Structure 1
């Protein structure tokens, strides 16, 4: 396979609407944070004086400067219209051009990695922790559930087999109304068929019904697995890439 596997956000089967909503919220927030990179490019095009002025404001009034930077990022999104920006209050209100919905961002505590989004009377709280102690994570909390992305999402359900010698990354999990959904990427030096075979054996020992398939893309071996048992589901797509096997693992567990 020419391209590396990219973690998906959740299994495609058996997912409730509330989990899909939370996942969509998380993806949207990740896109929002990604837009901060665009802001850097914006300032790179300004004069040296403009960059210096902004740097000074960051030192003297970091909260207000953060609001201004976020407003610039939002204005670069063609699907949004910035209605108001109040650095003193730490708020930005935007309108989705397609739907007409108005969204208010509260960024007054963004320096601590936390902010909230209010949409249609419902508030979503976001906590971004980039500290070395916690390894970097983002937590999204709504009235309906919690989504965790990054290091804080490393605790997997006990029924998912641990692959010996493998390393996991790109973890994300969501818990809403008792339903648990998550995904991560497993990397190992073992071949794809070895990975699929080990998971198949372990899952069947635990009472899962398992279906597997072997494939090949451009001469690179790959394999898939889908396992179900009662209210649990596990899906794996494993492929050889850059001298190792990358396996996308996604799971779902209903209450």
Structure 2
């Protein structure tokens, strides 16, 4: 399915990995979006300069700048102001980078290993933010791997978003409402595996399902709470530029 010209977006994909750029570019182009690619820092900075209007979203591999990923985001901010930035989650080198990236206005993370059919659902909230209504509980758009276990059956998928109380998961085989499961995932930049006993509270084969946390370790809950607080765009006191 393609988008109309009015809803088409221009997405800049910045990574030294040719396969990564090509996979994301192909998925976006097939949906009618325009893509630009940057394989080097100099290419990226040239394309986001204020004299080059029209980029709607930046997908950024922090590894493009070696160990200076946060500094690269800062340079992009200096040149491109409020351009929405999504970071490839695997390029976050440590948990210490996450609050710095949040302060610089990084709006979300996407799994660089996403399969073609998962790319557009993961990016849709960033491509069309006005179409995604926020609920009373703050949610952060996040596409990371998650596994969930029901009895002796384990399945894997990608998250759509996370809140302090649960996860939305992209899957074509959602659990029935009220089904209990154990979900496990790692937040960007962290080696901590979070484990949560949860229950399916909504289920839709066209979209996926929502898992509501029912029980988790206090340290895991704190990690989730802090991550959501750092990236909650509805918080007027959050330290962010966009």
The alignment's TM-score, normalised by the length of structure 2, stands at: 0.31
Q: Which has the higher contact order (CA 8 A, sep 6+)?
A: 1
Structure with larger Rg: 1
More strand by share: 1
